[in-house]
Structure 1
Amino acid sequence: MTERISHHIPDALMASYVAGTLPKPFALVVATHVSMCDSCRANYLAHQAAGGAVLENIAEEPLSGDLRDRVLGALDDAIDLDDPETDETPRDGIYPGPVMAALKGKAPRWKSIGGGVRQCIVDMGREGSARLLHIPAGRPVPEHSHGGLELTLVLQGGFSDTTGHFDVGDVEIANDELEHIPTADPGDDCICLAATDAPLRFSGLVPRILQPLFAI
């Protein structure tokens, strides 16, 4: 699969992911892509190694007296397995381990959002949302622009828009300057993992009316 991937995670996003500062919805997309792409996995490991070297050269600081109690207290906190190195959730068909972990090991629960397109929201919070999109082969998504950043990772099939073609494993990075009509390839239906930090801006009246119902 890796040899077909031509759209990768930019270095700045990878650095933010490794540092733990990337919002959770985007971190899920990055973790999933890294699990599919040897090139980005190597980049991920390089960033980890660079971060470790920086830590080794930081001057020691005195520890507070309550550090031991705070560390022991944190052992009961929930852990998010969005790291491709630690996430051991098995792949289920087209869904890599990080996606299956977000789905809690269950099959997606699809809901129609019109035009034959279906979605399954896998994460939603103050930082944004991540969802699976199922787009019938040959069908377009309504024309839209973006209120912020959108990462879209192809898991099955593919799609094209004004920026090019995206195959399995490819990531499209869209910002508020891009207005497009992603159209699924003929053949297999297109299934994507998409993450946003702001609502989309649809051009058509009907999508705008329905948008609040589908939290897009």
Structure 2
Amino acid sequence: MTHVQHHIPDAMLKAYASGNISPHFATLVAAHISMCEICRVALGAHEAVGGALLDVTKAVDVSSSLKTDVFSKLDAPFTPKPVFDRSGIYPGPIVQAMKGQEPRWKSLGMGIRQHIISYDKQGSLRLLYIPAGQAVPEHGHNGLELTLVLQGSFSDETGQFGVGDVEVGDEDLAHVPTADAGPPCICLAATDASLRFAGLIPRMLQPIFKI
């Protein structure tokens, strides 16, 4: 098992356990949990606390048809969707988010590519492909960005991040992530706001690339 050194913040695990998290971040958290035993255990603790709270919470009346509706959905036929991950790089939650399709990489320049999985007012979820030795242009953050490494590794001002590691970027972080030597670095990045690029050209191209 990969030795993960950088984890999901506990507050975000708690939000994930309670369902109080955007779909973009939920997919990334689920993917990390599938790769990290420590965070799986922590999530289980949060879910146990949530279950205990439900046990002492006053019941709420629901419609008489709810049980029938739920059981009818359970009886509905299920056809597994095809998966694309022949390489073993992409965890199940990412495969599910991409609906079993291959990434459609689009160039961002300098050999860097991206595939946007989802993009809306709540933020974005995308795959990034960064060749070894290549740096992402210097940028800060207007909100929160979580970056999960799926292949290879990258380094920046805060340290090195390998497979399974998550970097948390907030408004206080400005950095230049650079892929380390070895295989290309493939990451999953989730944001709730646009990035804040230092250079003029990246800022000009930002609306086109939806970064």
- 1:103 partnered with 2:98: yes
- In structure 1, the residue matched to 2:49 is 50
The aligned runs of 1:36-115 (5 Å cut-off) are: 36-61=35-60, 63-64=61-62, 67-69=63-65, 92=86, 93-115=88-110
Deviations 1:42-70 (A, max 9, x none): 11111111110110011234x15xx2346
- 1:123 partnered with 2:122: no
- In structure 1, the residue matched to 2:20 is 21
**Number of aligned residues:** 201
Task: Confirm or deny: 8 A CA contact 2:107 2:113 kept in the other structure.
Answer: yes
Q: Which amino acid aligns with 1:95?
A: Y
Task: Confirm or deny: 8 A CA contact 1:159 1:167 kept in the other structure.
Answer: yes
Could you tell me the TM-score, scaled by structure 2's length? Answer: 0.89
Give the match's secondary structure for 1:47. helix
Task: Confirm or deny: 8 A CA contact 2:154 2:178 kept in the other structure.
Answer: yes
- In structure 2, the residue matched to 1:81 is none
Deviations 1:149-168 (A, max 9, x none): 00000000000111111000
**How far is 1:72 from its partner?**
5.7
Q: 1:91 to 1:72 in 2, by over 3 A?
A: farther
- In structure 2, the residue matched to 1:189 is 184
- In structure 2, the residue matched to 1:11 is 10
CA distance in 1, matches of 2:67, 2:205: 46
Deviations 1:102-133 (A, max 9, x none): 11111111000111100001111221110000
**How far is 1:203 from its partner?**
0.5
Give the match's secondary structure for 2:51. helix
In structure 2, list runs of 5 or more residues that go unmatched.
Answer: 74-82
Could you tell me the TM-score, scaled by structure 1's length? Answer: 0.87
Q: Give the share of equivalent positions with the same residue, in percent.
A: 55
- In structure 2, the residue matched to 1:86 is none
CA distance in 2, matches of 1:36, 1:91: 15
